[in-house]
Structure 1
């Protein structure tokens, strides 16, 4: 099931963080911001708050964690939407809004991109 697969992916990222010998405080902060926001924090906002360019943040983040901040945000949002779908059956527009997707069509595209399935098929 896809919820399990994405939980494994998140566990991989968490394990990678735990194994990191010297992750900078800035990257650790950016990671916490992405997770804490449910994947809704924009990479440009993180970069601005750090005084870095988006490209610099993405490179440093990817070096430390193994994926870029945008990819992590997409996974976190997807996982949250999948989790909410277990409780809010068939309210895809509400789930999309709760998770920070622009609209229901955006949520459907993300599900297809990340899982190869529609939200209904995975719920």
Structure 2
């Protein structure tokens, strides 16, 4: 999910619109968010990217990147297990989706570990229908019409797709329920798979090895807890199973690219826009 963490200081956004699709539109598709993003900004923007455990699909309808206009295009952003940075300049206009990993694996039909820590053109995975959809979205004048077109495309893809591996789906549920706290060896033994086979099947379906996915879930819980008023880093570390604050700090360096104190102070120092983006 997107995190309300602003790391750009007092940077002003000239015009911004985020329009969320009705939840009923994508019901049953494991789409966490479907929204339209329309922004015009006066200078280049650099954002810290923080992994959030989802796969993101972006239909870029028009915009400016690197000082030049871009044509309508679609990208898929795979699961990340490390922090990164992103930037853009000028106008950005897009329809964006955030999907659960198992839903993304079903939609895309390719091993998600092939997309780990990277982005790829969506039409290279799904073919000409993606290019056709992207062009239609760019030519469509209203957000409800765009959301309806994207939903129709998703429903058709999901209807023809294989369901997720039920064993991996069970493992994902267990890890989520425990916040990443279940030891991977214990989970593999419960399932009845060897550790190697479990790792391979899980990475194919989810995009990260089970240990990395569990670590990301634990980090996400700690990050959410630390953004609450009056949060204590030591108490949060103990609550989420970190040995001590140093262990917690190493997790933040890996996933957010900054120690907890610096990240939270940066968020508190600014109130205009969200620049720490969970993806």
- Match in the other structure for 1:69: 210
Candidates 51, 55, 58, aligned match of 2:196 = 55
8 A contact 2:221–2:240 mirrored in 1: yes
Q: What is the root-mean-square deviation of aligned Cα atoms in Å?
A: 2.0
Q: Is structure 2 residue 100 aligned with structure 1 residue 15?
A: yes
The answer to whether residue 88 in structure 2 is matched with residue 3 in structure 1 is no
Q: Is the 8 A contact 2:180 2:215 kept in 1?
A: yes
Question: How many positions carry a matched residue from both structures?
Answer: 121
> Counterparts of 1:21-32 in structure 2 under 5 Å?
21-32=162-173
Q: Which runs of 5+ in 2 are unaligned?
A: 5-48, 56-78, 80-98, 107-161, 265-279
Using CA pairs below 8 Å that are at least 6 residues apart, which structure has the higher relative contact order?
A: 2
Larger CA Rg, structure 1 vs 2: 2
Aligned pair in 2 of structure 1 residues 23, 44: CA closer, same or farther (>3 Å)? Answer: same
30, 35, 44: which one aligns with 2:185: 44
The answer on whether the counterparts of 2:53 and 2:101 sit within 8 Å (CA) in structure 1 is no
Paired residue for 1:101, among 230, 233, 242? 242
User: Residue 180 of structure 2 contacts residue 218 of structure 2 at CA under 8 Å; is this kept in 1?
Assistant: yes
SS in 1 for 2:163: coil
Encode CA deviations 1:83-119: one digit per residue, 9 max, x unaligned.
1002254511100111111221111111112221001
Counterpart secondary structure, 1:10: coil
CA drift of 1:15 comes to: 3.4
Moved more, 61-70 or 13-22: 13-22
TM-score (norm 2): 0.40
Q: TM-score, normalised by structure 1?
A: 0.86
Which of the pair is proportionally richer in strand?
A: 2
Deviations 1:27-79 (A, max 9, x none): 00000011110111111011010111211111000011111111111111111
CA distance in 2: counterparts of 1:16 and 1:114, whole angstroms: 18
Gaps of 5+ in 1: none
CA shift for structure 1 position 9: 3.5
Name whichever of 63-72 and 16-25 sits farther off: 16-25
Task: Please tell me whether the aligned partners of residues 111 and 117 of structure 1 are also in contact (alpha carbons under 8 angstroms).
Answer: yes
3-state SS in 1 of match to 2:228 = coil
